[in-house]
Amino acid sequence: MQLNPVEQFEIHNMMPMVNMGGHQIAFTNASLYMLLIVAVASLLLVGGTARRAIVPGRIQSMAEMFYEFVAHTVQSSAGTEGMKFFPFVFTLFIFVLLANLIGLIPFSFTVTSQLVVTAALALTVFFVVVGYGFYKHGLRFLRLFVPKGVPSYILPAIVVIEVLSFLTRPLSHSVRLFANMLAGHITLQVFAAFIIMLAGFGVLGWFGAVLPFVMVVVLFALELLVAILQAYVFAILTCIYLNDAIHPGH
């Protein structure tokens, strides 16, 4: 039994290192779980839509619910034009959702509790926004940083603040998901460790252990909510940022 609450986040190398262009490429437990997530997502969606029944089965209706939910999210926050980014947002949502949910299975590894992973996802969104903004609007995209109706003597300061506020997006976008998952899993682990420690004290300890056990059950429900909520928040923030790239001046 691991009583160390942060041991669950350790990365282990699972295969001999491969040298690729001067870099050591390792296949770690994180890579394994990412592959697992992709496999589960493919199974769920490809398998679910393979039959294309008019009256959907359980898995098919789940796949359809995912589609409708994300499509609605994209449409309501990025407009109809945003639907060209639907595959991107859908992929992100399903990946984050499954990573969070699979991470909740005891003894499994949570990919989204690694800042590297969430930062990579958030930076992808950031560069897609910047790239598409400049591709679509050229230099007019920079009007995003120049609010109208601001007196000219404070405009330089406002522009700098707007640029900074734009640059903070990938950071807050990635840290939010990462910190939520990290904190949740540490809390769960700490309370679970209390059960084991208290149970070690004998019969009286067993009665005491009931309290952290109740906490673990309650926290697990909360973590389930957080896992789904954070995937949704990640997707909707992606939509909001994409909306800026699509309509930078409205």
Q: Give contact residues for another protein (rule: CB under 8 A).
A: 76-77, 144-150, 157, 160-162, 164-165, 167-169, 171-172, 175-176, 179-180, 225-226, 229-230, 232-233, 236-237, 240, 243-244, 247-250
Task: Give the nearest distance from C-beta 56 to another protein in angstroms.
Answer: 25
- Please identify, using beta-carbon distances, which residue of 2 and 76 lies nearer to another protein: 76
- Please identify, using beta-carbon distances, which residue of 112 and 180 lies nearer to another protein: 180
- Please identify, using beta-carbon distances, which residue of 34 and 224 lies nearer to another protein: 224
Q: Please count the other Cβ atoms lying within 10 Å of the Cβ belonging to residue 72.
A: 10
- Please identify, using beta-carbon distances, which residue of 128 and 175 lies nearer to another protein: 175
- Please identify, using beta-carbon distances, which residue of 47 and 249 lies nearer to another protein: 249
Determine the Cα–Cα distance for residues 250 and 239; give it in Å rounded to an integer: 16
Task: Give the nearest distance from C-beta 66 to another protein in angstroms.
Answer: 15
Determine the Cα–Cα distance for residues 29 and 34; give it in Å rounded to an integer: 9
- Please identify, using beta-carbon distances, which residue of 33 and 85 lies nearer to another protein: 85
The dihedral through the CA atoms of 130, 136, 138, 139 has a sign that is: negative
Determine the Cα–Cα distance for residues 2 and 35; give it in Å rounded to an integer: 25
Token readout for 212 is 């952290």
Task: Give the nearest distance from C-beta 211 to another protein in angstroms.
Answer: 22
Task: Give the nearest distance from C-beta 150 to another protein in angstroms.
Answer: 8
Distances (CA, A) of 122 to 96, 174, 175, 223: 11, 5, 9, 22
- Please identify, using beta-carbon distances, which residue of 40 and 247 lies nearer to another protein: 247
Place of tokens 């309290």: 211
Determine the Cα–Cα distance for residues 173 and 3; give it in Å rounded to an integer: 31
Task: Give the nearest distance from C-beta 76 to another protein in angstroms.
Answer: 5
What is the DSSP code (8-state) at residue 13?
B
- Helix or strand run (H / E) with residue 20: strand 18-20
Task: Give the nearest distance from C-beta 160 to another protein in angstroms.
Answer: 6
Task: Give the nearest distance from C-beta 198 to another protein in angstroms.
Answer: 27
In the chain, count H helices and then E strands: 6, 2
